[in-house]
Amino acid sequence: AFANNYATPTTLSLDEIERIKNDFVVGAERVFHAGFKVLEIHGAHGYLVHEFLSPLSNKRTDQYGGSFENRTRFLLELVDAIQKVWPKELPLFVRISATDWVDGGWNEQESLKLSKLLEAKGVDAIDVSTGGTSPDAKIPVGAGYQLPFASLIKHNTNLIVGTVGLITNASQAETILVNGDADLVFMAREMLRDPYFPLHAAREVHEDIAWPNQYRRAKLK
């Protein structure tokens, strides 16, 4: 269990693993037919893929547990299966938690090793986050606190690398890109706080972008 007040999960059978992989494939097909142009496999934050990757949560004793090769098997098989239905010309991303922030857990060196395997399989980009498998994680939360993990993968692979985590203004994001620590900056909470963030960011970095027609009368020169 994740913590004392959480339910204890049951171990998936091999047949259940195959069914779930097929469910992912069906989901990928739906995404494509719905018209989306980018697909991301979410392998972070304590969700199922991450539960296989992390030795904190993966206590299996079969081919899906124990060694690094076994713990990464589910994700790598998932990528293979999805690539059979997702067009090669469209980007395929994988999101990972680069560290569990717990001794003995999933760590940045395993993330780099996994990233190289994903690169060899033709994955286009890695979306680098952290944490999610343990309530005991000691996370040094601060501006851009997850960037070093993205930078490690960026400088040791040829993948497109995205970074996340308390990136809250345009200058901060632009600095990350200019310094070559990541290729993409993913933002969520700042856009919840400020739905007009793209317009404000463009002004901050002196980019003259097109405003939505409904807002053009309010555009400042």
Catalytic annotation, residues: 47
| Per-residue DSSP letter, 126 | E
Cα 74 to the chain's mean position, in Å? 16
Residues 6+ apart with CB under 8 A from 126: 93, 94, 95, 96, 115, 118, 150, 153, 157, 159, 160, 161, 162
- Can you tell me whether residue 215 is helix, strand or coil? helix
Identity of the amino acid at 91: P
Within 10 angstroms of residue 196's Cβ, the number of other Cβ atoms is 10
What are the CA-CA distances from residue 27 to residues 23, 24, 36, 143, 192 (Å)?
A: 6, 5, 12, 34, 26
Angle at 201 (CA atoms; ends 161, 35), nearest 5 degrees: 55
Residue the block writes with tokens 């998936």 = 12
Q: For the chain, state the CA radius of gyration.
A: 19
Q: Is 135 exposed, middle or buried (0-12, 13-18, 19+ CB in 10 A)?
A: exposed
Q: Residue type for 2, please?
A: F
**Residue 142 and residue 107 in contact, taking contact as beta carbons nearer than 8 Å:** no
